[in-house]
Amino acid sequence: MTERGNFGSKIGVILATAGSAVGLGNVWRFPYMAGENGGAAFIVIYLVCILMLGLPGMLSEFIIGRHAQANAARAYDKLSKGRPWKFVGYLGILTSIIILGFYSVVAGWCLQYLYVALTGMASGNVDAVREYFTDFSGDAMKPAILGVLFILITQFVVARGVRGGIERASKLLMPVLFVLLIIIVVASCMLPGALEGIRFLFYPDFSKLSSDVLLEALGQSFFSLSLGTACLCTYASYFSKDTNLLKSAFQIVTIDTMIAVLAGLMIFPAAFSVGVNPDSGPSLIFITLPNVFSQAFASMPVVGYVISVMFYALLVFAAMTSTISMHEIGTAFFTEEFTLRRRYSAWVVTVAAGAICVLCSLSVGGRSWLQITGVALMDFCDKITANIMMPIGAMLTCLFVGWYIPKRTVYAEFTNRGMTNQRWFMIYLFAVRYICPICILIIFLHQMGVV
C-alpha cells in the first residue's frame, strides 16, 4: 500500500480545512439564502445551528478520521469492528461526488463571469444581463465544458498529493481570497445607501421564520461546514497526533462564519445602494450583481471594473479550495481501497463527477428529461445533498461517536493527552449523544408533517 500523506504544519491544517469549508456556500449560497429567508433572522438560526450542531458534528468527524488514519469508508469500518457503519462512509463518498458534480457547474459559471469581467462586463441594462445569464447557463455546451474544466483543474491539484497539492494550494488561495474579500467589503460599505444593506443583514425580521427556514438554515450550516460528507473525516486522517481537535474546530468554524458574514457585507450594501432587491435567489450573483457593481461605481468605472474582476476571482478561488476537498474524499477512497495509484483514482472521481456535472448543466436549460420530481436535476442534487444526505450523514456520525465507539477512544482523541479540558468533553458528549440527533430528527419529522 502507498504511504499516506499528511499535512505538514498547523497552519496547513487550518487553511486546508477552512478552505474546504469556505466556498461558494459562503459567497454564493449563504447570501441568497439569507436574502430569501429574512436576512438577520435567518442568520440567527444559522448561528445556533452552527454552534449546537455543526461544531459537535465537525469534532465527531475529526475524531473518527484522526483515530483511524484512513479514507472515510475504512475509517468507519475500522472503528466499528465489522459492523455495517462503513455505509456511513460510503454515503459520505457518494454525497461528495454528487456535490462535486453540481458545484462545478456553478464554479464553471464563475470562470465564465471572470472572463467576461476581465474583458469588460456586459452590464447596465438589467434585461440584457438577465438574458445573458439565461442564454449562457441554458446553453448545451459551454457551461458543461467549463464545469468539467474546473474538475480537471481540481484533479491537477489533488493528484499532487496532500502536502504538495492540497496544502500548498490552500496556503496560496486562502490568504488571497481573504484580502480580496476585505477590499470589496470596504468598497461596498462605503457606497451611499449602504447602511440599508447592513441593517438588512443585522436586524432580524422574525416574522419570516418558519419550519422551512429552519431546515434551510440547518442545511446551509452543514453545507457550509462540509459536514456529513466524510470530507472532514478524510482531512482529519491527515492531521498529526499533536493537532488539538477542539481548538482547530473552533478556528475553522469561526473563519467560515466570519467569511459568510463578510460575503453578506460585500453583497447587500452594494445591492441596496442601487435599490436592488436581495431576494433574487441563486441567480443573485450572476444577474443582480454584475449590474450592481457597474451601477454603484458608475462615476468611477475603473473601480467598478477592478471590483468586478476581484469579485469573480474570489468566487473561483473559494470554489477551488472546496472542490479540492470534495475530490480528495473519493480519491483517497479509491487509492486505498483499490490500491490504485493516486493519479488513476483521481481520474475515477473526475469521470463520475464530470458526468453528473454535464447532466446538471444540461438540466438548467429547462430540458424536461432532466427533471426529477418537477425540478431541474441541478436543484434536485443541491436540495437532496444539503437537506437530506448531509444531515443524515452527520446524524449517523454523531450517533456512532456518541453511542458506539468506546468512550475512552473518543476521550483520548478529544482531550489529546490533556490538551483540552475535561469539562469540554462532557459538553461535547452530551451534544453528540442527545442534542444533535434529536434536533436533526425533529427538524426532519416536522418537515414531513409528522410533528
Positions that interact with ligand PFF (CB under 6 A): 20-21, 23-26, 96, 99, 223-224, 226, 229, 231, 322, 325-326
Closest distance between ligand PFF and the C-beta of residue 151, in Å? Answer: 14
Closest distance between ligand PFF and the C-beta of residue 178, in Å? Answer: 15
Among residues 21, 53, 22, 28, the alpha carbon closest in space to that of 231 is found at 21
Closest distance between ligand PFF and the C-beta of residue 24, in Å? Answer: 5
Coil/strand/helix, residue 307: helix
**Cβ proximity to ligand PFF, 25 vs 437, nearer residue:** 25
**Cβ proximity to ligand PFF, 20 vs 248, nearer residue:** 20
Bridge partners, residue 215, by sequence: none
**Cβ proximity to ligand PFF, 99 vs 215, nearer residue:** 99
**Cβ proximity to ligand PFF, 322 vs 335, nearer residue:** 322
Closest distance between ligand PFF and the C-beta of residue 215, in Å? Answer: 17
Separation of alpha carbons 39 and 35, rounded Å? 5
Structure-derived torsion over alpha carbons of residues 423, 425, 430, 432, reported in degrees to the nearest 10: 160
**Cβ proximity to ligand PFF, 126 vs 388, nearer residue:** 388
**Cβ proximity to ligand PFF, 16 vs 129, nearer residue:** 16
Environment class of 451 (CB within 10 Å of its CB; exposed 0-12, middle 13-18, buried 19+): exposed
Q: Please, are residues 68 and 333 in contact by the beta-carbon 8 Å criterion?
A: no
Closest distance between ligand PFF and the C-beta of residue 87, in Å? Answer: 17
**Cβ proximity to ligand PFF, 213 vs 315, nearer residue:** 315
Closest distance between ligand PFF and the C-beta of residue 126, in Å? Answer: 27
Q: Please, are residues 256 and 26 in contact by the beta-carbon 8 Å criterion?
A: yes
The CB-nearest residue to ligand PFF is 25
Residue with cell 441594462: 125
Report the phi/psi class of residue 325: left, alpha or beta, with left for phi > 0 and alpha for psi in -120 to 50.
Answer: alpha
Separation of alpha carbons 199 and 349, rounded Å? 43
Closest distance between ligand PFF and the C-beta of residue 417, in Å? Answer: 29
Closest distance between ligand PFF and the C-beta of residue 157, in Å? Answer: 14
Q: Please, are residues 348 and 340 in contact by the beta-carbon 8 Å criterion?
A: yes
**Cβ proximity to ligand PFF, 95 vs 244, nearer residue:** 95
**Cβ proximity to ligand PFF, 304 vs 391, nearer residue:** 391
**Cβ proximity to ligand PFF, 43 vs 276, nearer residue:** 43
Separation of alpha carbons 268 and 246, rounded Å? 33
Among residues 411, 445, 444, the alpha carbon closest in space to that of 429 is found at 411
User: How far, in Å, are 52, 206, 214, 327 from residue 155 at the CA level?
Assistant: 34, 43, 35, 7
Closest distance between ligand PFF and the C-beta of residue 94, in Å? Answer: 11
Handedness of CA 287, 360, 105, 318 (dihedral sign): positive
Q: Which residues does 398 contact at the CB level (< 8 Å), separation at least 6?
A: 56, 57, 60, 432, 433, 436, 437
Closest distance between ligand PFF and the C-beta of residue 10, in Å? Answer: 21
Separation of alpha carbons 32 and 264, rounded Å? 9
Environment class of 384 (CB within 10 Å of its CB; exposed 0-12, middle 13-18, buried 19+): middle
User: How far, in Å, are 81, 135, 341 from residue 75 at the CA level?
Assistant: 10, 45, 20
**Cβ proximity to ligand PFF, 199 vs 383, nearer residue:** 383
Closest distance between ligand PFF and the C-beta of residue 251, in Å? Answer: 15
